[in-house]
Amino acid sequence: MFIVKPRIPECGAIKDDNKMTMEQYSEIMKKQLGKEYLRFAGNVITIVTPDNNSKVLEIGPGPGWAGINLLKKRPDLVLDGIEASNDMIRVASVNAKNEGVGNRCNYKNGFAENMTELKDATYDLVISRDSLHHWVDPEKVFLEIKRVLKPDGKIFICDSRRDLKLTGKLIVTISVISFLMVWVNTGKHQLL
Ligand SMILES: C[S@@+](CC[C@H](N)C(=O)[O-])C[C@H]1O[C@@H](n2cnc3c(N)ncnc32)[C@H](O)[C@@H]1O
């Protein structure tokens, strides 16, 4: 029998706290997941092939690396980001500027469940990487995506799987341990 476990969303917005600033988070993510962000951008281009001059909406951009890589690969695209954390917006805006795409990026603060400031049928493409597991009400988010997408718009959303087999769990455990080791080495942190 197939048992569906109840969905437990993660913490919602990720913000500065006394353990880590989002600048530190951003550097760790870039170091750890640099190739993964490039792969994401490549997949968006090859799998959904955005039309020329598409207007893209990124949900939960965090430090921005996924969308920034997409903009670097496709100089014709422009991107808005809807991000629940103002700390992430601060960092993503600096990252976009430093990577030379700041003039094609605009991050807005808000929850994707309620994108009231975004008009109907505005975007050609909605993307999101590793944010869905934070959404409190994914159904509401998908209804909002439908509203802000143009009728022939496209979506490309990916997220981690919870129903991992042993090998997957092992990979995640090793990744978490190496994440913590990088974190300890990049700042003046101690694990215990
Ligand atoms: C795990 S991070 C991933 C960040 C980025 N997409 C990446 O791949 O590096 C999840 C991001 O989604 C944001 N977030 C969580 N819930 C959200 C929501 N309902 N609407 C918009 N952003 C949300 C968090 O603040 C965080 O920046």
Q: Based on the domain organization, do 41 and 97 belong to the same domain?
A: yes
Cβ-proximal residues to 184 (8 Å cutoff; 6+ apart), any chain: 190, 191
Give the number of other CB atoms < 10 A from CB of residue 146.
14
**pLDDT, tens digit, 9 for 90 and up, residues 97-150:** 999 999 999 999 999 999 999 999 999 999 999 999 999 999 999 999 999 999
Establish whether residue 130 lines the binding site of ligand 1, counting it when its CB lies within 6 angstroms of any ligand atom.
yes
Residue 172: inside a domain: yes
Q: Say how many domains are in the chain.
A: 2
Q: Based on the domain organization, do 73 and 87 belong to the same domain?
A: yes
Residue 98: inside a domain: yes
User: Taking 80 as the threshold, does the pLDDT of residue 176 lie above it?
Assistant: no
Establish whether residue 126 lines the binding site of ligand 1, counting it when its CB lies within 6 angstroms of any ligand atom.
no
Do 177 and 171 touch, CB atoms closer than 8 A? no
Phi, psi of 183 (to 5 degrees): -60, -45
Residue 7: inside a domain: no
Q: Based on the domain organization, do 53 and 92 belong to the same domain?
A: yes
Establish whether residue 13 lines the binding site of ligand 1, counting it when its CB lies within 6 angstroms of any ligand atom.
yes
Q: Based on the domain organization, do 142 and 52 belong to the same domain?
A: yes
Say how many Å lie between the CA of residue 60 and the centre of ligand 1: 3
Q: Based on the domain organization, do 96 and 182 belong to the same domain?
A: no
Domain that holds residue 146: 22-160
